[in-house]
Structure 1
Amino acid sequence: MELAPETVKPSITRLRRAHGQLAAVIRMLEEGRDCEDVVTQLAAVSKALDRAGYTIIASGLRQCLVEEDGEVDTKKMEKLFLSLA
C-alpha cells in the first residue's frame, strides 16, 4: 500500500536534510576534520533518520497496518517500531 503524498512530505524533507548532512560527514572525513565535529554531524544524521522513520510510522499507521476487520495489527506495529530502535 502506498502512503499518501501529503502524509510523506515531512518525512521526505527530513530525509533530504539527512542526505545533505551525510554528504557533509563524508566530506569532513575526507578532509580530516576534527573527530568531535564529525561525530556531532553524524549524530544529526542519525536523529534526522530516526525522526523520518517515526513520522512515517505515526502518519501512515492506520493506512499501513489496519487489517480488513478495521483492527490494527499490533504485532506488525511493534515490529516496525522496534526496527527503528
Structure 2
Amino acid sequence: MPARTDQTDAPAPPGYHDTKPALLARLHKVEGQIRGVTRMVADDRYCIDVLTQIGAVTHALQEVALSLLDDHVRHCVTDAARTDPAAGATKLDELTTAMRRTLRL
C-alpha cells in the first residue's frame, strides 16, 4: 500500500516562505558587512568610520526584522484569525511580544 501524503499533517510553511530568497540575500549582505567591520577594527580604522558601518549593519538587520514582522502579520496572523479566532488572538499576542523584542521596549 502506498504511503499517505496527507497535507494536513505537514506543518505550514513560515510566513516568509515567499520572500526567503530575498531575506537570505539580505542576511548574506549583513554577514559581509560585519566581516568588513571586523576588518576595520583589526586595521585600526578611524572610530567614526567604524561607527558609521555599525550603523549601516544595524539598519540592515532592522530592515530584515521589519520584513519578517510584515510577513508574520500578512500570513501567520491573518491565516490564524481567518480559521480560528482563538488562534488569531494567540498570534496577535505573539506579534506584540515580537515587536517589543524587536523595538527593545
Alignment TM-score, normalising by the size of structure 2: 0.69
Q: Provide the residue aligned with 2:97 in structure 1.
A: 79
Overall identity of the aligned pairs, in %: 25
1:40 to 2:47 alignment: no
Alignment RMSD = 2.0
Distance in 1, matches of 2:95 and 2:34, equals 28
Kindly indicate whether the alpha-carbon contact (under 8 Å) linking 1:53 and 1:84 is maintained by their aligned counterparts in 2.
Answer: yes
Question: Per-residue deviation at 1:14?
Answer: 1.5
1:69 to 2:84 alignment: yes
List gaps (5 residues or longer) in structure 1.
Answer: none
Which whole-Å deviations, capped at 9, do the CAs of 1:17-45 have from their partners, x for residues lacking one?
A: 11110000000000100001100000111
Question: Per-residue deviation at 1:62?
Answer: 4.0
Q: Provide the residue aligned with 2:63 in structure 1.
A: 51
CA spacing shift, 1:9–1:61, aligned 2, 3 Å = farther
Alignment TM-score, normalising by the size of structure 1: 0.82
Kindly indicate whether the alpha-carbon contact (under 8 Å) linking 1:25 and 1:42 is maintained by their aligned counterparts in 2.
Answer: yes
Distance in 2, matches of 1:2 and 1:76, equals 17
Between structure 1 and structure 2, the one with the greater Rg is 2
Q: Which runs of 4+ in 1 moved over 6 A?
A: none
